[in-house]
A and B are shown apart, each in its own frame.
Chain A
Amino acid sequence: MSRVVVCTWGTSGGAEELLTLARGVAAGLEATLGWVVLGPAPHDVTAIASRQDVPVVDHIEHEKLQSFGGDVAVAALADYVRQHDFRVLLVPQTFDARLLAPRLAARIDAGVVMNGLGVVVEGGALAVTASAYGGDTRVVYTLAGEGRFVIGVATSALAAEPAPNPATAVTRHCAVDLAAVEERVQVVTRSEQTGPRIEEADVLVAGGRGLGEKANYRLVEELAEALGGMAAASRPIVDEGWAEPARQVGLTGKITRPTLYIAAGISGASQHMVGCAAAKTLVAINRDPEAAIFRYARYGIVGDCLEILPALTRAVKG
């Protein structure tokens, strides 16, 4: 019987959502559902697998996988696939997965699709819905033939649902041969970002070009601070140096999913919205009542963000 397998490493973020999606794909292909964890397994793997009706979790262990780079990861997965084949491998689309998924696909001669938002089986064939043009459009790809496919899925818009019949998951330890593998790319200076990240923030206040000038970014930071949240930014103002790159939200920045996202002086281009559309409540402040951002917003204030941001800060401080 063929297998639909979710592959994760590091934390289990997004795994449960992806397993829920994979369960549907497995049912459509009459395949079994699997989960393979590369390197140290997070503590909640067995609980999640049981909830999602994954009978067996494959755990690839090797001393070289304690902390690893792309060469080791690709070699480990390729060796695993030689032992335990699959039809579809789904990976949560993290920064590292964007590189790992196509490399693995080429190594094992699988087809690869990234930016997946949904995967369905129609008449026995796989169809992947993905975003394109930075979110301006959606595309549907048909995956032809009986071969393997590796699919990167953006998990931030997926929901996890427990399986109707939970399993009691067991772990299968899978040995891989990495004797001949050394990382070809050597890290000279590693970036260790300390402190909180906007990806994990519960409240974000984001500023855009509508702030007018660098000094006004302070208004964004002040409201963020008053709300106990973090300041974020659109790409143009990061390019201008008004805000740090780590603050950039969007296609080429961070994908965030806060409870509250306040966008001030941001027009609402798709490339920005992909990074904040998963926010539970989005508030837009824009001078232009026709701005696209209002289409995404739950609440909108039409006006000058240079007046409204400080007014909000005052109101929050009471």
Chain B
Amino acid sequence: MSLRIVVCAKEVLDPDAVNNYALEGRLVIGDDGKSLTQSSIPRLMNAYDEQAIEAALRVREAGVPCTIAVVSVGEGQDILKHAASLGIDEPVAIHADAASLDHHGVARLLAAFVRSRGGADLVLCGRQASDDDQGVVPALVAEHLGLPVVTIARSVDVTAAGDGFAVRVVRVTPDGDETVAVPAPVVVTISNELGQARYPTMAGRMAARKKKVAVVTPAELGVAPEALRPRITLAKQFVPTVKGACEMIGGGADEAAAALLARLRAENVLR
């Protein structure tokens, strides 16, 4: 019996490139007032989703026979090619205009995809997407499928238990690590603490070239257009202005230190 893993992945704008533009004060919003349109910002797989794939591959390498499907809503064929080059079994695109969907629509499609395959034992997602940072899709998918959900995992271990599988997750919480146990099927979200995701090997790249990305439509998944009508729409995006009222304190190290302390004490920030 093999463990059926589905990893959900999203294409995003490279957050580091966005960050660099922001740091230089050169981040621009497009004419529609809501999109980041600088064409020099690469599109790539959300890094947390890449780590979710990594988590799946580690489960396989730990000796659990697995089938790993990676599914993405939208046209992001490139990220699915990337997923394929990492050695997953099945890249699947759900053919829909991702920009016109809200998270509820995306979650409905992902849940319908899992259902269309007769379920999954382990649904892995990144903890959040680095573009909108919402982090709600995994929980929505879990509820639609009636599954428990464990968030912000550092590691995921799967063992056979009776006719099924038992899952053990180390979660990163504000109070430190917490270990939880849950029987499959379950939805788990992966955090950066999992560690660096692998890069594709040359052989992996070659194999990926031959692998076809399967495409399914919402209709094939039994999701009607009304169920995808967004309740939440992006109206506007802007770059926040930072007030920038910094007083520079000069002089040598000791001089500057004394001057800073004097100011902080004068303002009662320090006693």
Contact = CB atoms under 8 A, between A and B. Distances in A.
A65 B183 CA distance: 23
A35 interface: no
Contacts of A135: 240
Interface in B229-271: 230-240, 242-250, 253-254, 256-258, 260-261, 263-264, 267, 269-270
Contact of A103 (B139, B186, B258): B139
A133 B181 contact: no
Contacts of B257: 308, 311-312, 314-315
B237 A115 contact: no
Given A139-B34, A270-B22, A115 B149 contact: no
A82 interface: no
A259 interface: yes
B153 to A, nearest CB: 12
A292 interface: yes
A162 interface: no
Contacts of B149: 70, 99, 103
A137 B239 contact: yes
Contact of A114 (B135, B179, B233, B256): B135
Contact of B182 (A140, A185, A245): A185
Contacts of B174: 95, 193, 197, 199, 246, 254
B234 A187 contact: no
A260 B237 CA distance: 31
A295 B248 contact: no
A245 B193 CA distance: 9
A98 interface: yes
A254 B173 CA distance: 10
B246 A139 contact: no
Given A142-B233, A191-B175, A71 B148 contact: yes
Contacts of B234: 139-141
Given A111-B232, A307-B253, A245 B134 contact: no
A133 B232 contact: no
A185 B150 CA distance: 8
B205 interface: no
Interface of chain B: mostly helix, strand, loop or mixed: mixed
A179 interface: no
Given A134-B130, A138-B238, A270-B19, A102 B136 contact: yes
Contacts of A197: 174
A115 B129 CA distance: 13
A131 interface: yes
A201 B182 CA distance: 35
Given A192-B175, A308-B257, A98 B242 contact: no
Contacts of A106: 107, 139-140, 142-144
B104 interface: yes
Interface string B177-199: 11111110010000111000000
A140 B233 CA distance: 8
B19 A134 contact: yes
A300 B247 contact: yes
A41 interface: no
Given A132-B131, A134-B15, A316-B261, A188 B254 contact: no
Interface string A117-137: 000000000010011111111
A139 B18 CA distance: 15
A11 to B, nearest CB: 13
B23 interface: yes
A252 interface: yes
Nearest to B248: A300
A246 B253 CA distance: 30
Interface residues of B, number: 80
A149 B111 CA distance: 21
Contacts of B248: 289, 294, 299-302
Nearest to A135: B240
Contact of A142 (B127, B178, B235, B269): B235
Contacts of A294: 244, 246, 248
Interface stretch (A25-33, A209-217, A278-286): A278-286
A174 interface: no
Interface in B102-158: 102-104, 107, 127, 130-137, 139-140, 142-144, 148-151
B168 to A, nearest CB: 7
Contact of A281 (B103, B176, B236, B267): B267
- Across the A-B interface, give the 7 residue pairs with the lowest CB-CB distance, nearest first: A106-B143, A191-B176, A102-B139, A102-B136, A311-B253, A193-B175, A311-B257
Interface of A: 70-71, 95, 98-99, 101-103, 105-107, 111-115, 127, 130-145, 147, 149, 184-193, 197, 199, 203, 227, 239, 245-246, 251-252, 254, 259-260, 267-271, 280-281, 283-284, 289, 292, 294-304, 307-308, 310-312, 314-316
16 contacts: A102-B135, A102-B143, A103-B139, A112-B103, A132-B131, A137-B240, A143-B231, A186-B180, A188-B180, A192-B175, A246-B176, A252-B127, A252-B191, A259-B269, A269-B23, A308-B256
Given A137-B240, A145-B231, 15 more contacts: A99-B151, A101-B136, A102-B137, A112-B232, A114-B135, A130-B134, A134-B130, A141-B233, A144-B233, A185-B148, A245-B172, A268-B23, A299-B263, A301-B248, A312-B261
